[in-house]
Amino acid sequence: MQTQKNPADPAPTHSSLVALGDSFTEGMSDLMPDGTYRGWADLLAARMAARTPGFRYANLAIRGKLIGQILDEQVGLAAEMGADVITLVGGLNDAMRPNCDLKRVTGMLEEAVERLAPACKQLVLMRSPGRQGPVMERFRPRMEVIFETLDSLASRHGAVLIDLYGAPSLGDPRVWDVDRIHLNAEGHRRVAEAVWQGLGYDPEDHDWHVPMAPTPPDPWLRRRVADARFARVHLLPWIARRLTGRSSGDGLLPKRADLLPYE
């Protein structure tokens, strides 16, 4: 499900953007040379700023945040900013926790949308992308419950709903980082294009969602070495954080906490 632009509609004019969420919206793992993360929201803001003098942008997202933390720490601030566009992506970290209360998660998503929708000209929600593999299959039922909630909320509140989960290109391992949890630069570029089009701007890449051309698989030994490194460097620390209740975002601040001119 994704809102489509009517060719007869005038070009959109948005003067400000506020992005809320977790590591997906913070920009991991679109790593820049200076060690910071860029990501789809920054890419989208840059495009919008190129069209609108004085464009302002804030990004409140912090890696590891659960939907309750997004609701408590980000939603109120975003609602007060009065931005033209607000994007909200959350709940996936909750779905991947051992003891996930889906009723509580969907209830907080509903509260967040009810507070944000009246506070902006256009609210954007997303079905999160999913990398092909056993981890995605494990959590698919929970994600589908969240997606059904987002479908209903978008319809009731006039939000644009971007279906990243249904885009074949974003299920391809080649648009994901070596940690197999976060998108790489190409993945973030495609997400930025999806939201750009969902907001009514003329496409710059009509095929962002199209499956990528197949390439020969890596040799068996190389794949096994990569699997072992993934488990040691990424999977085991991720499991440890889930079991201890720690988050990779503990102690971090938003990279753009104020709605200021984009530079």
- Map tokens 């973030």 to a residue: 188
Q: Is the distance from CB of 38 to CB of 32 less than 8 angstroms? A: yes
* Residue 140, pLDDT score: 85
pLDDT of residue 5: 47
Q: How far apart are CA 242 and CA 95, in angstroms?
A: 12
Q: Tell me, what's the pLDDT at 259?
A: 98
For residue 55, give the nearest of 15, 11, 86 by alpha carbon: 15
CATH topology for 16-261 is: Rossmann fold (3.40.50)
Backbone torsion region of residue 180, taken as left when φ is above 0, otherwise alpha when ψ lies between -120 and 50, otherwise beta: left
Q: What pLDDT does residue 224 have?
A: 66
Which tokens in the block code for residue 89?
């992506």
Domain chopping of the chain, boundaries: 16-261
pLDDT per 10-residue tile (average), the chain, 263 residues:
52 93 95 93 97 97 96 98 97 88 97 98 94 70 94 98 95 87 95 98 96 73 60 56 61 94 90
The pLDDT of residue 1: 46
Fill in the amino acid letter for 68. G
Tokens 């984009």 correspond to what residue? 262
